[in-house]
């Protein structure tokens, strides 16, 4: 039985991608980006989705928006209680990334998505960074919401109020405590409705207790695996598309009924992102 199914994904080509500013610790290495290699890697990630039965849609890249390739962050996507697809636009912490949001909002409006605008006040510290920090629990009206480095508890609270008011989902905040794992999608990923990978030291004790209560199997990832973005893999249609899996994790993924697919994302990792960050599911 396939637990996590998706048929459409949105990606943004890396036309203007580069590492500029240090927005997260991965960006501090100063390693230069090989732009041709980045383009090939991005195409291979798209091909992996296609092979997994997912249609890849594209949004045009915009000059000067070097991180726009990370399509997971600009909006949160869901389906409301009436079955209408909606987005919640993000309030990004960094100014250059905040400028990406209107481009994505326009794309989603043109494609029939309703907008739930939280009117987040960045001046009051209300930040919310889309699916970087907001992860759906597979097949449940429930969202796990990381906060601490990029999204804030104030942002997550406004999101929670809206999701509850609209009877869309319950939301559980998860505090992040290791700045290297600055987004929830760098240290946690559900593999199925019942099992997840987690790099435990990146989460507060309370956050870990919440996850333990919700997943039958919480598989611990080593720091080495986490630093290579094992938790930034994508479970979809019976596959787990990731940039890296140690032998031990490979077995865990297989035992959970998924077929591992490895794609190289070295150039994007220099900016702090891998497979999960490079896409947003549309369904
Ligand atoms: N350089 C980008 C940033 O720091 C990387 C974003 C990666 N996206 C993600 N969902 N973790 O904002």
Catalytic residue among 12, 187, 231, 277: 277
Work out the pLDDT band at 273, boundaries 50, 70, 90.
very high
Q: What is the mean pLDDT of residues 269-274?
A: 98
Candidate of 132, 144, 279 to mutate for ligand 1, largest count of ligand atoms within 8 Å of Cβ: 132
Computed over every residue of the chain, the mean pLDDT equals 97
For this structure, is 6 an active site residue? Answer: no
pLDDT tens digits, residue range 116-130?
A: 999 999 999 999 999
pLDDT tens digits, residue range 185-216?
A: 999 999 999 999 999 999 999 999 999 999 99
Q: What is the mean pLDDT of residues 10-21?
A: 97
Q: What is the pLDDT of residue 154?
A: 98
Work out the pLDDT band at 81, boundaries 50, 70, 90.
confident
Atom of ligand 1 nearest to the CA of 72: 10
**In sequence order, which residues have a C-beta less than 8 Å from that of residue 17 and are 6 or more positions away?**
33, 35, 38, 61, 66, 67, 68, 69, 267, 268, 271
Identify whether the C-beta of residue 281 lies closer than 8 Å to the C-beta of residue 9: yes
CB distance 155 to ligand 1 below 6 Å: no
CA of 1 to the centre of ligand 1 (A): 32
Terminal C-alpha separation, the chain: 19
CA of 140 to the centre of ligand 1 (A): 26
Look at the block and give the residue holding tokens 């290791």.
178
Q: What is the pLDDT of residue 2?
A: 82
Atom of ligand 1 nearest to the CA of 185: 11
pTM higher than 0.85, yes or no? yes
What structural domains and CATH numbers belong to the chain? Answer: 8-281 (3.75.10.10)
Q: What is the mean pLDDT of residues 25-40?
A: 96
CB distance 277 to ligand 1 below 6 Å: yes
User: Which pairs count as long-range contacts for 200-209, CB under 8 Å and 24+ apart, including other chains?
Assistant: 201/177, 202/176, 202/177, 202/178, 202/226, 203/174, 203/175, 203/176, 203/177, 204/174, 204/175, 204/176, 204/177, 206/175, 207/173, 207/174, 207/175, 207/176
Atom of ligand 1 nearest to the CA of 92: 12
Give the closest residue to 202 by CA, choosing from 226, 224, 173: 226
Candidate of 97, 272, 275, 279 to mutate for ligand 1, largest count of ligand atoms within 8 Å of Cβ: 272
Q: What is the mean pLDDT of residues 48-76?
A: 98
Work out the pLDDT band at 1, boundaries 50, 70, 90.
confident
For this structure, is 277 an active site residue? Answer: yes
Q: What is the pLDDT of residue 249?
A: 98
CA of 190 to the centre of ligand 1 (A): 19
Catalytic residue among 131, 183, 187, 244: 183
Joined tokens for residue 264: 């190289």
Atom of ligand 1 nearest to the CA of 132: 10
Q: What percent of the chain has pLDDT over 70?
A: 100
CA of 226 to the centre of ligand 1 (A): 15
CB distance 184 to ligand 1 below 6 Å: no
């Amino acid at each position: 039985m396939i637990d996590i199914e998706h048929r459409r994904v949105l990606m943004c080509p890396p036309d203007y991608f580069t590492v500029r500013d240090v927005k997260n610790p991965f960006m501090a290495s100063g390693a230069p980006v090989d732009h041709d290699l980045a383009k090939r890697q991005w195409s291979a990630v798209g091909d992996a989705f296609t092979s997994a039965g997912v249609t890849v849609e594209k949004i045009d890249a915009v000059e000067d928006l070097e991180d726009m390739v990370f399509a997971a962050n600009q909006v949160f996507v869901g389906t409301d209680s009436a079955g209408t697809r909606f987005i919640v636009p993000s309030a990004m912490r960094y100014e250059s990334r905040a400028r990406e949001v209107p481009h994505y909002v326009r794309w989603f409006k043109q494609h029939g998505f309703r907008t739930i605008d939280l009117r987040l006040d960045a001046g009051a510290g209300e930040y919310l960074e889309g699916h970087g920090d907001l992860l759906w629990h597979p097949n449940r009206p429930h969202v796990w919401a990381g906060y601490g480095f990029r999204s804030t508890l104030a942002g997550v609270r406004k999101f929670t109020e809206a999701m509850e008011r609209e009877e869309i989902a319950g939301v559980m905040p998860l505090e992040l405590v290791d700045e290297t794992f600055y987004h929830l999608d760098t240290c946690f990923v559900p593999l199925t409705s019942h099992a997840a990978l987690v790099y435990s030291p990146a989460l507060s004790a309370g956050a870990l207790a919440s996850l333990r209560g919700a997943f039958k199997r919480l598989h611990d990832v080593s720091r080495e695996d986490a630093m290579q973005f094992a938790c930034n893999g994508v479970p979809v249609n019976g596959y787990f598309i990731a940039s890296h899996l140690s032998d031990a994790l490979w077995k865990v993924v297989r035992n959970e009924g998924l077929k591992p697919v490895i794609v190289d994302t070295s150039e994007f990792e220099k900016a702090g992102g891998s497979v999960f960050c490079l896409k947003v599911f549309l369904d």
